[in-house]
Amino acid sequence: MDQTIASFAQQTPRNFLRGWLLTVLIPGLICGGFAVAVVSQGVDLEDWIFVFILGTPALYWFAVGLLQGMLLQKLLDRPKVWAVSTWGGGSLALIGGFASFGWLTVWIDEISNYGFDPEHPIALLLFGFSGIVAGLILGFLQAVTMHASWRERVYWLAWSATGGCFAFLVLWGGVNLIAIMSKRNYIDFPDVGFYTIIAACLLIGALTHNLLTGIALQRLIAKRAKRNQNALVNQFD
């Protein structure tokens, strides 16, 4: 009976979090390096924004979805659907997050006489809110693929939104770091150093989000395994 319970109540492996982080780290290093190499050849502002916000992220999230689907193959009912939702959700999340940030900055510029200053403390709130939007977009598309209760899906959304908030706050820190280094003439805009900092901040932010959601997913799977195990034991009582 113990073997039956163990096979029915699948637990996450001990190295699950490490594998989960690698699903983001490996594509992030490859795609980030590729993006920096492309834009450092000398491109217009619109071109590097396209590379960092649209082009490379689509390839990056495809790789992340593929790797996560492989990692979750024995842990989720529909790992292939999860892979597709992660690909689409991640791509849309980045667009939605930056779109909401752009809308907020325009709105603040219209209602105030000071304009938008990325070094002002209120920018911290804008980045954080935009990260919440991004996390909710990705988390929602992933949550609908789960065979889970609404409470579990809300739990997942909360962790994803929190991770998205922290991810964008990391980006805010990178923007201010660029501003400080530019004022002190350490880097010029644009140059390889500028693009490298942007790519590094995006990767660190993605790893932050991935760590939090990995912990959340591990807990969800553990709770479900324990619930299934108790239900199976009760059948023999």
- pLDDT of the residue at 119: 62
Smallest CA-to-CA distance from 24 within 55, 52, 61 is with 61
- pLDDT of the residue at 6: 34
- pLDDT of the residue at 4: 29
Burial class (CB in 10 A: 0-12, 13-18, 19+), 21: middle
pLDDT above 50 (res 1): no
Is residue 95 classed as helix, strand or coil in its secondary structure?
helix
Considering the chain, what percentage of its residues have pLDDT values greater than 90?
A: 35
- pLDDT of the residue at 207: 94
- pLDDT of the residue at 105: 78
Q: What backbone phi and psi angles, to 5 degrees, belong to 188?
A: -115, 160
Of 44-58, 95-109, 132-146, 192-206, the range with the lowest mean pLDDT is 44-58
The answer to whether the beta carbons of residues 71 and 21 sit under 8 Å apart is no
Start-end of H helices in the chain: 2-8, 16-39, 45-50, 56-71, 79-111, 121-143, 150-183, 192-235
- pLDDT of the residue at 213: 95
Instruction: Tell me which range, 40-54, 73-87, 220-234, is most confidently predicted by mean pLDDT.
Output: 73-87
How far apart CA 206 and CA 26 sit, in angstroms, is 12
- pLDDT of the residue at 237: 54
Of 105-114, 161-170, 212-221, 226-235, the range with the lowest mean pLDDT is 226-235
88: pLDDT confidence band, cut at 50, 70 and 90? very high
3: pLDDT confidence band, cut at 50, 70 and 90? very low
**Sequence ranges of the domains in the chain:** 15-231
Q: Per-residue pLDDT tens for 172-225?
A: 887 777 766 666 666 665 567 777 777 888 889 999 999 999 999 988 888 876
Residue type, 56: T
Enter the pTM of the model.
0.80
The answer to whether the beta carbons of residues 116 and 123 sit under 8 Å apart is yes
Smallest CA-to-CA distance from 61 within 5, 138, 119 is with 138
How far apart CA 87 and CA 60 sit, in angstroms, is 8
Tell me the mean pLDDT in the region 22-29: 94
pLDDT above 80 (res 46): no
pLDDT above 50 (res 230): yes
Rg (CA), the chain: 20
What's the whole-number average pLDDT of the chain? 79
Instruction: Report DSSP state, residue 9.
Output: S
Instruction: Report DSSP state, residue 55.
Output: I
- pLDDT of the residue at 148: 78
- pLDDT of the residue at 187: 61
